[in-house]
Amino acid sequence: MHFLRFFKTGILLLAAMLTASTAAARTFSVMVYNVENLFDDDGVAAYDDYQPNLYTSAHFKTKLANISRVVGSMEGGRGPDIILFQEIEVDQTPDRVDSAEKQLLAALKARGMTGYTVVSGSDSARDQYEDGKPRAVKCVVFTRFPVRKVRNHATLNARNILEVELEIDGARLHVFDNHWKSGAGDPEMEKIRIANARTLRSRLDGILRNDPHADIILGGDFNSQYNQSRVMKGRMTTTALNGVLGSQGNELAIRGDKADLYNLWFELPPAQRGSDVYRGEWGTLIQMIISRGLYDFKGVQYVDNSFAVLRLKGINATPEGTPLRWSSEGKAGSGFSDHFPVYALFRTVKDNRPDKWMKLENPSTSDDSPSQPPKAPEKTYDLTTAIRLSDVADQAALRSGSFNGKLMRVEGRIGKGRRLSVDVKGSTWEVWVPEPALREKLRSQWHEGESVSFFGILGQFKGTWQFTIERADWIR
């Protein structure tokens, strides 16, 4: 009888302990988002595109509203618990109290997203990069969890790497926000990214020496493809992301001693790997990479197969499904970013078992990346609906903004100089051709004063009005 009572008491106690453990655990979300230059409206900016004649308070409000709309699409309007932002302005007027990130915080709060602490990178407008260029943008972390420590790691010709150590239900999580040197396909820029990777790898090695199962999330705009070693094959023997940092695609390998990082792009089928578009191909410059500690049963744990791209039809995506990037055209601007955000889910666990590994469904066990990135869908145009430039009676209206983004039939004479241009009814318009081979072909074939006819999209670049020729068959 006493044994039965003891047995029942033990069962109840065990059930209470399990219930308490379950109640204490939580699931939370992490987003990585390059917002394509969130600049404030104080009229002082390091980039030409954000000077007062091109970027006003109305533009700033549009950017804040659109970023908030994307962030608020998660967690039922509550937004992610941790956000790693890139390309937020390094304030050129630091004495002001309303920096871009503070005003973004207020915009999120106005939409019901509260509880964030803001941690900004230490990049200063008073400093320059090693190549002499001004520091214009930085990394910023928004978090709902207590911040234990903050470190900034200066790195060659790139934004400071922002390290934020968080406490989540007693567990310690290290978050690194990165924005490495640009030029993903350029071997010379890869050399600089190798230096960026060494900065990060050195800090990781220090953490992992003390705790091989430390919980670490690396996120940001690495300006590298997830399979950069394959992209640079034949041009570089070592790459920053794969060679130096150690990002790789074998999810089971991190249980051993040969790898300690896993790139979450491998969670998706190869055809779905893409968050940005360049020259008609999907890219993966925005990334989230996690350490082996996020697979054990101690502290924080990754939620298997939760990694995804935040592509919102009718919001931050074009009808074709590519990023609807920011445009300053018009009185208030429009669009979101040239990058889709990525996100993943994590949870706290109470087992305190670094020797126990979580069960995985269909784990990636090798680098299954294709030799060529997937093609991005092309925007289709109906040339029969193009507006004939010569039919616009009020030529001044062309520069009013009401024709921005419109496809037009342009007939005129080739302007002078190496820069492509066309003269129409006494006005000179610049011509931009994104495809390098086609651009060089036109430079060699177009001669000043000759008649020319083409289709082009009217728009502005750094205050200059221009027609963009997207395809070779637009030239008649």
Return the percentage of the chain with pLDDT > 70, whole number: 94
53: domain CATH number? Answer: 3.60.10.10
**Which tokens is 386 given?**
């193009």
pLDDT tens-digit map of 293-337 = 999 999 999 999 999 999 999 999 999 999 999 988 888 999 999
Q: What is the pLDDT of residue 24?
A: 57
Indicate whether 64 pLDDT > 70: yes
- Where does residue 372 fall: left (phi above 0), alpha (psi -120 to 50 degrees), or beta otherwise? beta
Indicate whether 7 pLDDT > 70: no
- Alpha helical stretches, state H, 175-248: 187-210, 228-231
Instruction: Determine the average pLDDT of the residues in 260-282.
Output: 95
Q: What is the pLDDT of residue 94?
A: 74
Q: What is the pLDDT of residue 39?
A: 97
Q: Choose the final residue of a domain: 342, 357, 372.
A: 357
Q: What is the pLDDT of residue 431?
A: 96
Q: What is the pLDDT of residue 81?
A: 98
Q: Choose the final residue of a domain: 357, 391, 410.
A: 357
Asked whether 226 and 284 are in contact (CB, 8 A), the reply is yes
pLDDT tens-digit map of 79-108 = 999 999 999 999 998 777 789 999 999 999
Between 111 and 6, the more confident residue is 111
pLDDT band of 61, cuts 50, 70, 90? very high
294 and 398 belong to one structural domain:
no
Taking the CA atoms of residue 285, residue 188, residue 420 and residue 433 in that order, the dihedral angle to the nearest 10 degrees is -30
71 and 212 belong to one structural domain:
yes
In a domain, 300, yes or no: yes
| Domain span holding position 420 | 383-474
pTM (predicted TM-score): 0.88
pLDDT tens-digit map of 207-243 = 999 999 999 999 999 999 999 998 888 888 899 999 9
132 and 203 belong to one structural domain:
yes
Give the Å distances, CA to CA, from 31 to 143, 308, 316.
10, 10, 15
In a domain, 279, yes or no: yes
431: domain CATH number? Answer: 2.40.50.140
Q: What is the pLDDT of residue 115?
A: 98
pLDDT tens-digit map of 152-198 = 999 999 999 999 999 999 999 999 999 999 999 899 999 999 999 99
